[in-house]
Amino acid sequence: MDKATATPPQLGFFGMCRWAWRQLTTMRVALILLLILALAAIPGSLLPQRIQDPGRVTRFLEENGVWGQFLDRIQMFDVYSSIWFSSIYLLLMISLVGCVVPRSAQHWKAMRSAPPKAPRRLGRMPGYVEFTSATEARTVLDTAQARLRKLGYRTARHDDHVAAERGYLRETGNLVFHISLLVATLTMAIGSLFGYQGQRILIEGDTFTNSLVAYDSFEPGAYFDPDSLPDFRLTLDEFTSSFDATAPGSQFGQPRVFEAQVTTTVDGQSESHTLKVNEPVRVGETGVYLTGNGYAPEVTVRDATGKVVHSGPTVFVPGGDAGYTSEGVIKVPDAAGTQMGFVGVFLPTATQNDQGELVSSFAELRNPYLVMSGYTGDLGLDSGVPQSVYSLEAENMTQMTDATGEPLTLQMGVGQTQELPNGGSVTFDGVKRYIAVDISQDPTQGLMLVSAICVLLGLGLSLFVPRRRMWVRVTDGRVEVAALARGEDPMVERAARDLAADLRTGDSDAEGDSCAEGDSDAPGDSKTSTTGSRIASGRD
């Protein structure tokens, strides 16, 4: 005989939508999305980001070719504004809203409802004590209700028992945690819409005026009005740094201090500040953050006529080694006869390695040395195509050569001058320090602080407040005290014993009292039953 084959029902389109919504709004999926968001943010800390350092992004693309272009195509240099990061962010917010709102409504109803009645068999509860009492049942129940209220329980009186429940703050804290997390997420999004973020490099002695044209890069929020930029000036007076020259092994040369002495001017009033890493300077609602530093060699270039065509410090970018070996470009478009360009490497403490190559052995200025190659020709500045100030477009240029026809290499210490083949000269005058600052305004910082405090407060309540139900029943002189934990509560058995001890105090017939599973060794001490540890609710 053939057995009938059961055909599962088809969910259909709307059924699949309901199933997907239920899955998305579970706390499990919310936690998974939060983990995915944290993982998605990792490339933003490993790879340079355009919003922070467009120069480093350009160099990365030039040095990594096809691999760099692929990473750029999938928005790895614009992680926090990418489509995939924004999608995860949006899904997390939807999941949190769909999870928190129904739970909040259920919790509100639970807080307004009476504690559940006692089940028929209280002996199955994790915490259970039974004893006999000659005291009137009403008096026992009155005493139990008063004691439970004093301990913070909400109570409900019935004919033969008292029901009590406490620990609603545990679920309240859980909801506060998730609502605050949602508010923090929304606050970050709102801040990115109505705030702005810009970057600027300041050489010692430079003054920055807070205007659009003064930024090296500027990223306004979608709803930020550039005309509302606060009016202030920022001057870099001095930058100091120190590196560990005595530590052994890998700790040798590690940075120890980065401090910039700056002066802010607002409405004609100047004030001095010390700008440090993770210690920003506040100008009203605007924060100035120290994000980088380096060396700016001062170079003077003269053309064949002896005219000074370039003079002053030029930013050289550290290459990432412990010795602060830095690379930079000097462009000289106003030289007589032909334009010139120089590609250089700056060594703060120049030494020779075992192969005879020049390297920097330490990050501080102990033996500053500048090595450059020169080019002549068209710099391409008039083509209308934007160029990086950190790279030289040498396709239409010719490298300078020495008297032997070999590529010219300029090697100079501070104060030294080298002649150029065209009759000009280059002088290495000295070195200045520079800093990279991030200037941003976020109108939601106060709300973000409140959200962060509420997150910690809610987390503390959800972890440390026990949720517990208790019942006291009196039947024909037999008193039953039972306690049930909602979640992990190692004190549930003790709570039942303590309440039973309180009820037995003052009982004139204490000598006749007995425990459910035998006599105790001391007055007020009772044995407990743990056979009900699998019960999930207080109802039978």
Beta carbons of 325 and 473 less than 8 angstroms apart: no
pLDDT at 531: 35
Same domain, 74 and 150: no
Same domain, 487 and 430: no
Beta carbons of 132 and 478 less than 8 angstroms apart: yes
Same domain, 201 and 128: no
What is the C-alpha to C-alpha distance for residues 98 and 103, in angstroms, rounded to an integer? 9
Q: Is residue 9 part of a domain?
A: no
Coil, strand or helix at 338: coil
Tens digits of residue pLDDT in 319-348: 878 899 999 999 999 888 889 999 999 999
What is the C-alpha to C-alpha distance for residues 327 and 317, in angstroms, rounded to an integer? 5
Tens digits of residue pLDDT in 349-365: 999 988 888 999 999 99
Domain boundary among 48, 71, 99: 99
Q: Kindly report the length of the chain.
A: 540
Q: Is residue 437 part of a domain?
A: yes
Please write down the long-range contacts of 172-176, taking CB distance under 8 Å and 24 or more positions apart: 172/107, 172/458, 172/461, 173/457, 173/458, 173/459, 173/460, 173/461, 173/462, 173/463, 173/465, 174/458, 174/461, 174/462, 175/100, 175/103, 175/104, 175/107, 175/458, 176/454, 176/457, 176/458, 176/461
pLDDT at 534: 32
What is the C-alpha to C-alpha distance for residues 118 and 115, in angstroms, rounded to an integer? 9
Q: What is the CA radius of gyration of the chain?
A: 37
Same domain, 303 and 352: yes
Q: How many domains are contained in the chain?
A: 3
Amino acid at residue number 459:
L
State pTM to two decimals. Answer: 0.66
Tens digits of residue pLDDT in 62-119: 888 889 899 989 989 888 888 998 888 888 888 888 888 888 888 888 888 889 999 9
Tens digits of residue pLDDT in 59-75: 888 888 889 899 989 98
Host domain of residue 340: 196-380+392-441
Q: Which band of pLDDT confidence, cut at 50, 70 and 90, is reported for residue 400?
A: very high
Average pLDDT over all residues of the chain: 85
For the ranges 341-355, 373-387, 478-492, the one whose mean pLDDT is highest: 341-355
Same domain, 356 and 231: yes
Same domain, 233 and 363: yes
Same domain, 230 and 333: yes
Tens digits of residue pLDDT in 244-276: 888 887 788 888 999 999 999 999 899 999 999
Same domain, 163 and 272: no
Q: Is residue 449 part of a domain?
A: no
Residue 518 DSSP code:
B
Q: Is residue 173 part of a domain?
A: no
Q: 495: domain CATH number? A: 3.30.310.80
Domain boundary among 40, 69, 99: 99
H or E stretch at 272 = strand 269-276
Q: Is residue 176 part of a domain?
A: no
Same domain, 430 and 333: yes
Nearest to 352 by CA among 371, 330, 328, 374: 371
Amino acid at residue number 148:
L
Q: What number of CA atoms fall less than 13 Å from residue 427's CA on the CB side? A: 15
Q: Is residue 529 part of a domain?
A: no
Q: Which band of pLDDT confidence, cut at 50, 70 and 90, is reported for residue 52?
A: low
The partner residues of 274 in beta bridges, in order of sequence, read: 261
Same domain, 73 and 163: no
Domain boundary among 70, 99, 128: 99
Tens digits of residue pLDDT in 163-195: 999 988 888 888 888 888 888 878 887 887 888
Same domain, 314 and 422: yes
Please write down the long-range contacts of 329-334, taking CB distance under 8 Å and 24 or more positions apart: 329/389, 329/390, 329/391, 329/392, 330/299, 330/301, 330/372, 331/379, 331/381, 331/389, 331/392, 332/301, 332/303, 333/379, 333/381, 334/309, 334/310
What is the C-alpha to C-alpha distance for residues 502 and 525, in angstroms, rounded to an integer? 11
Pairing of strands 196-203, 425-441: antiparallel
What is the C-alpha to C-alpha distance for residues 201 and 205, in angstroms, rounded to an integer? 12
Same domain, 227 and 323: yes
H or E stretch at 98 = helix 83-112
Q: Is residue 345 part of a domain?
A: yes
Q: Is residue 525 part of a domain?
A: no
